[in-house]
Amino acid sequence: MEDSLEKLLESESSEMKDELSMEIDPPFKENHATAEDWRKALHNVVPAVVVLRTTACRAFDTESAGASYATGFVVDKRRGIILTNRHVVKPGPVVAEATFVNREETPVYPIYRDPVHDFGFFRYDPAAIQFLSYEEIPLAPEAACVGLEIRVVGNDSGEKISILAGTLARLDRDAPHYKKDGYNDFNTFYMQAASGTKGGSSGSPVIDWQGRAIALNAGSKTSSASAFFFPLERVVRALNFLQKGRASGQDNWEAVSIPRGTLQTTFVHKGFDETRRLGLQTETEQLVRHASPLSETGMLVVDSVVPGGPAYNHLEPGDVLVRMNGEVTTQFLKMETLLDDSVGQNVELQFERGGTPLTVQLKVEDLHSITPNHFLEVSGAVIHPLSYQQARNFRFHCGLVYVSEPGYMLYRAGVPRHAIIKKLARKQALVVGPTLEVIKGVDVGEQVANGITNMEDSSSDNGNGNASVAERVIEPTLVMFEVYVPSSCMLDGVHSQHFVGTGVIIYHSQDMGLVAVDKNTVAISASDVMLSFAAFPIEIPGEVVFLHPVHNYAIIAYDPSALGATGASLVRAAQLLPEPGLHRGESVYLVGLSRSLQTTSRKSVVTNPCAALNISSADSPRYRATNMEVIELDTDFGSNFSGVLTDEEGRVKAIWGSFSTQIKYGVNSSEDHQFVRGIPIHSISQVLDKIISGAKAKGPSLLINGVTRPMPLVRILEVELYPTLLSKARSFGLNNNWIQALAKKDPVRRQVLRVKGCLAGSKAENLLEQGDMVLAINKKPVTCFQDVEDACHALDLSDNMEEKLQLTIFRQGCEIEVVVGTDIRDGNGTKRVINWCGCFVQEPHPAVRALGFLPEEGHGVYVTRWSHGSPVHRYGLYALQWIVEVNGKPTPDLDAFVNVTKEIEDGEFVRVRTIHLNGKPRVLTLKQDLHYWPTWELRFDPETSMWQRKTIKSLATGDNNNNKNNNSL
């Protein structure tokens, strides 16, 4: 069973407990240690143990971006040196603080992380700790022995401080194997004890009764109480180098060279019983046994060799090491000492392969030279030289171009994490530096060919054998969508970065092409849309021009000239047939595209032409279709198939679109789900007419293929409604006259509309109440959502500027008249977002307002997402809440928020007041980090029809125009 890497505790809250929880074992008397001895030892040790709160700001090497808690302890008080694990210090960029037992907090900075072994050092300013008396913990690796009683003092499972007891059981355990594609220690023994440590105790000192650290806690096995400790001999050596490199009174830390040598070879310790099976000669075994003063029981055997390393093509798995530089070598410590003292020099290895003695001279390589210390960040991707750790895991040469995080650009290209980039833009990409030069030469939006190596669906056509007339007619109008949402544009609660669906061309001319598709495929305007045409094998970009604020459809534009003369002649627009609407029992053809762009059709019958949608809110508010009636069929192709509904001549009556919802399982469990229904073409046809009419726009305009066109405006009543049968309405007291009037108005549905809720901040919010029955608008009975839309549309057609509707409602047995205002919405959707300290801040979008609550304090700005490894992750400022104050200053809107935050400097603590979606207020603090997380704004510019990114405040510039962050470690 594999050992599981000790899970670092990732706190969901930055709040820390005030009490100190110490768990002292009951007295246990032995020859040299009494309960009083342990009490004195712990009294000295506990003040020197610190809680480390670390944030990996970027994915790097074996580690992902994220925030966690761990433990460290002071090993040099005068110089301010803290010892902890390598996986705590992180191999890449890290921001960290240490909290002492008296709750004094100080920033700490990495000064060394061993390239192989699981230890590293932070430094801090000793003068910053003013109110605590403490001493450094001495290191005594020689004191470790089997049977030694120990205590592990640390932040176990987030309990600060916990003390766990144990007894050393082994000093020669194999280094634990954590995961196949992550960090693993090697070429060392570990100690083992049954102390049962858990997440957060990484880096804890393992002490004896004299208060000396005899080992460093590193990992544990989740299936048992076993804990694994790293021996301290190599730690003491590294600490001595650090101490010699910096005098105790020296102000500045300078880089200290700690020699580390390697053959890029992994050895394992095998007992003599196994080495015999590998062919070890009896004479050699006798030699080794007599040469070892420790009654040696085994030898070092080659386990793996990294390609391109000093030992490649010289050593092989199964080779049994006998001597190094003439000395019998059976222990990891002796081997590593020799290698560290021989960097750049040759060493002689004598070994046996299948019983045959062999000798080889190998040059010892500098281990730090194959340990990455810089990275390239482009479009969210993190790229750096392949480390020795990952070269071991995946058997590649060190230094190749390695993807530790694909980001947006590489994600779109299908490049996964742990990939090696061999070519970029048809040029060799063997090291990171030249790769950067290739990237600089690529224009925005340009497609380039890549060659990658991954270090780690087809659809069936269920259609009729012979294509129908409708299928043949509609095929040239169908388009397959592939939509990507950049991680920096995850607005409005959009739940994925990748969507696929089918749309239909509704307009095609020499200058402009327009395609209609559902909003579950194109959810927000800040999307990269690629269109593939059924009639012609080509893929071209599309541009989002209209997102209906209520109904589940979007309109996408494309440039017909990009199709070429042949493609433009083969592609055509569908004929739309908005009237008459579909009725129950009518035959239609469901036509769409498979993933392989094959047209598929099926003749179906309409079972319900006016099924009212009832989609509940998701856990994270996002767009959901409301106030819509959709079409249901007797047969379809499943929940992933979209397309159009046509008559026998191929005229489009509806689009067959995808809807997003969330199914809840139990109290805290839910799962994203989608279903498909027909969306009548009527509303789409109306919007299309406004776009192509060329009439002068009253409000915002569209820029489509360089031509300015009017932006269709939609007047809406910001109220969510749902239908109730008249039979139910009668039981609520609705009188017979109204029941007869509504039944006469709509003898098929025989229903009345009721208020489910008003959008927070809407003009109807304080006028209509949940449960109100809407009987008439402007004295005309209404029974369906279309009646309400028609009433709103009539306001636009009238000559007067009246923006209100007179509603007749039935509330608690009384019929009353209410005048309610309407709102005009365009098709742009959210047009602005601010990224501050790693959180995405925007104005509350309609799905948030539909919950019916906004903060009273002048509203506020809404946190829609947050980034791993950011300050908001570190301090617990998560999504689904409003920021209403920053440092005591109100932030009612984005402009106010920018004005407040741009005055905050790097490293400055900020007090933030938030209101959660459930109305619960909270105050928290976080520290701004402009080095890795500058403040920037993304805004849609209607003049250019482009999203523009602008840096508001960064560390490097001090102005608001540029962002030149130094991404070196």
Structure tokens at 203: 């880096």
pLDDT (tens digit per residue) in 525-556: 999 999 999 999 999 999 999 999 999 999 99
pLDDT of residue 157: 61
Residue 418 among the catalytic residues: no
Question: With pLDDT > 70 as the criterion, what percentage of the chain qualifies?
Answer: 87
In whole angstroms, what is the distance from residue 528 CA to residue 627 CA? 28
pLDDT of residue 19: 30
pLDDT of residue 412: 87
| Active-site residue identified among 3, 68, 87, 404 | 87
| DSSP letters spanning 616-630 | PPPSS------S-EE
pLDDT (tens digit per residue) in 385-430: 999 999 999 999 999 999 999 998 888 888 898 899 888 766 666 6
In whole angstroms, what is the distance from residue 702 CA to residue 543 CA? 11
Q: Is the pLDDT of residue 155 over 90?
A: no
Instruction: Say how many residues make up the chain.
Output: 969
| Active-site residue identified among 3, 114, 118, 636 | 118
Look up the pTM and report it: 0.85
Which phi and psi (to 5°) does residue 582 adopt? -70, 150
pLDDT of residue 836: 97
Residue 463 pLDDT level (bands cut at 50, 70, 90): very low
Closest Cα partner for 386 from 62, 57, 58, 869? 62
pLDDT of residue 48: 96
pLDDT (tens digit per residue) in 395-407: 999 999 999 999 9
Q: Is the pLDDT of residue 696 over 60?
A: no
In whole angstroms, what is the distance from residue 757 CA to residue 744 CA? 27
pLDDT (tens digit per residue) in 888-920: 999 999 999 999 999 999 999 999 999 999 889
pLDDT (tens digit per residue) in 755-811: 999 999 999 999 999 999 999 999 999 999 999 999 998 887 775 556 899 999 999
Whether the Cβ atoms of residue 592 and residue 600 lie closer than 8 Å to each other: yes
Greatest alpha-carbon span in the chain: 111
pLDDT (tens digit per residue) in 278-306: 999 999 999 999 887 667 889 999 999 99
Residue whose tokens read 């010289």 = 314
pLDDT of residue 246: 74
Residue 118 among the catalytic residues: yes
| Average pLDDT value for the chain | 87
Give residue 174's region: left, alpha or beta (phi > 0; psi -120 to 50).
Answer: beta
Please give the angle made by the CA atoms of 123, 129 and 133, to the nearest 5 degrees: 110
Average pLDDT on 63-89 reads 94
Q: Is the pLDDT of residue 726 over 90?
A: yes
Of residues 455 and 700, more confidently modeled: 700
Whether the Cβ atoms of residue 127 and residue 137 lie closer than 8 Å to each other: no
Residue 905 to residues 443, 660, 831, 902, Cα–Cα distance (Å): 34, 42, 27, 8
**Burial status of residue 868 (CB atoms within 10 A of its CB: 0-12, 13-18, 19 or more):** middle
pLDDT of residue 225: 65
Range of 333-342, 823-832, 942-951 with top mean pLDDT: 333-342
In whole angstroms, what is the distance from residue 672 CA to residue 926 CA? 32
pLDDT of residue 664: 75
Residue 256's identity, in one-letter code, is V
In whole angstroms, what is the distance from residue 545 CA to residue 561 CA? 18
Please give the angle made by the CA atoms of 524, 530 and 531, to the nearest 5 degrees: 115
Average pLDDT on 52-67 reads 93
Residue 695 pLDDT level (bands cut at 50, 70, 90): low
Residue 227 pLDDT level (bands cut at 50, 70, 90): confident
Structure tokens at 737: 């006259």
Number of H helices, E strands in the chain: 18, 57
In whole angstroms, what is the distance from residue 80 CA to residue 194 CA? 32
Q: Is the pLDDT of residue 964 over 80?
A: no
Q: Would you give the end-to-end CA distance of the chain in angstroms?
A: 36
Q: Is the pLDDT of residue 3 over 70?
A: no
Task: Considering only CA atoms, give the Rg of the chain.
Answer: 34
| Active-site residue identified among 162, 201, 202, 660 | 201
Q: Is the pLDDT of residue 663 over 50?
A: yes
Give the three-class secondary structure for 398.
coil
Whether the Cβ atoms of residue 616 and residue 673 lie closer than 8 Å to each other: no
Closest Cα partner for 207 from 132, 148, 123, 147? 148
In whole angstroms, what is the distance from residue 168 CA to residue 445 CA? 60
Give residue 203's region: left, alpha or beta (phi > 0; psi -120 to 50).
Answer: left
pLDDT (tens digit per residue) in 116-140: 999 999 999 999 999 999 999 999 9
In whole angstroms, what is the distance from residue 347 CA to residue 261 CA? 11
pLDDT of residue 9: 32
Q: Which of 226-240, 464-478, 499-513, 817-831 has the lowest mean pLDDT?
A: 464-478
pLDDT of residue 223: 60
